[in-house]
């Protein structure tokens, strides 16, 4: 079966109401599309209402579902509360929060201003906290069960990474929040999970990370043991499963979907991947020669 095919059965998300932050483009749009196809009602948020409206119209025509665009800057708690009230007014409830809104750029850390560092922290960590706290308080106050928060993190949330230090710092905080609340809020019927995607190229995000000719100079597939990047449907399949009732015993987990990229970069001797076959043959003979003495 083609890995780009859809995974879950039709109507697997029937009657679910899902909020997707950063849902107007890229991976947020891809996940929203699949949620709608599976029967969910989805509210998409970002700061750009025009982009959201265009996306919502496109996806409703494509899927026949209901997509509600709401302008919201997740860095501001009052805007998050207002967004939540708009979703409740439209749909009457919320079942799932997908914290997908993010920001990132590559830079030597010493070149960053304090404001540039704060911008990423505020969107990724503070924004995820704001949305999680607002939804969590709402669900707990009303005694609503079977609710889910799904956070999009990254593999360098636990390894760290140079040149994306604000993002690594923020994502590590989101991952810690995910695991902590998975324990604390389970008694309220709230599950917390995360996805750590590897390379899933999107025009907007990748243009900012690797501007100009950098994309051509760095072949990201060489960093992935499977030698390819991810297909957006693969991520959408995983996200749909984790927010569905099929995954009710999964709580506090971070699922990596990166083709083995972080493992290739983590091993002490993984650079030996670059040794040609002829040199391996010579090294093998040298080792055998030493062993026979």
What are φ and ψ of residue 144, in 5° steps? -80, 135
Q: Nearest-CA neighbor of 198 among 164, 249, 152?
A: 152
Q: What is the number of residues in the chain? A: 293
DSSP result, 105-140: ----GGG--HHHHHHHHIIIIIHHHHHHHHHHHHHH
Cα–Cα dist 69/73, whole Å: 13
- Rounding to the nearest 10 degrees, give the CA dihedral for residues 252, 257, 258, 261: 40
* Encoded tokens for 242: 């984790």
Catalytic residue among 77, 156, 163, 249: 156
Residue bearing tokens 């509600």: 68
Cα–Cα dist 68/50, whole Å: 12
Is 163 noted as a catalytic residue in this protein? no
Cα–Cα dist 144/136, whole Å: 10
Q: Bridge-partner residues for 255, per DSSP?
A: 195
Cα–Cα dist 215/165, whole Å: 20
Q: Are 42 and 18 in contact (CB under 8 A)?
A: yes
Residues assigned a catalytic role: 156
């Amino acid at each position: 079966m083609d890995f780009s095919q859809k995974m879950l059965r039709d109507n697997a998300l029937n009657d679910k109401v899902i909020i997707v932050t950063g849902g107007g483009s890229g991976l947020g749009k891809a996940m929203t599309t699949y949620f709608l196809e599976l029967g969910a009602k989805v509210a998409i948020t970002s700061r750009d209402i025009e982009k959201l409206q265009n996306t919502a119209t496109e996806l409703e025509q494509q899927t026949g579902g209901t997509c509600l665009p709401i302008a919201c800057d997740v860095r501001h708690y009052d805007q998050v509360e207002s967004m939540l009230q708009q979703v409740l007014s439209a749909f009457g409830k919320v079942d799932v929060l997908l914290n997908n809104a993010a920001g990132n750029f590559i830079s030597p850390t010493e070149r960053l201003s304090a404001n540039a560092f704060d911008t990423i922290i505020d969107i990724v960590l503070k924004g995820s906290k704001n949305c999680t706290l607002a939804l969590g308080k709402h669900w707990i106050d009303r005694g609503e069960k079977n609710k889910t928060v799904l956070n999009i993190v990254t593999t360098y949330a636990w390894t760290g990474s140079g040149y994306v230090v604000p993002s690594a710092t923020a994502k590590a905080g989101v991952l810690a929040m995910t695991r902590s609340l998975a324990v604390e809020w389970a008694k309220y019927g709230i599950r917390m999970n995360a996805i750590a995607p590897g390379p899933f190229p999107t025009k907007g995000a990748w243009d900012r990370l690797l501007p100009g000719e950098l994309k051509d100079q760095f072949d990201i597939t060489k960093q992935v043991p499977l030698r390819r990047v991810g297909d957006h449907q693969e991520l959408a399949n995983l996200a749909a499963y984790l927010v569905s009732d099929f995954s009710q015993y999964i709580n506090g987990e971070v699922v990596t979907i990166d083709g083995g990229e972080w493992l290739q970069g983590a091993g002490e001797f993984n650079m030996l991947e670059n040794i040609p076959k002829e040199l391996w043959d010579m090294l093998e003979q040298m080792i055998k020669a030493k062993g026979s003495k």
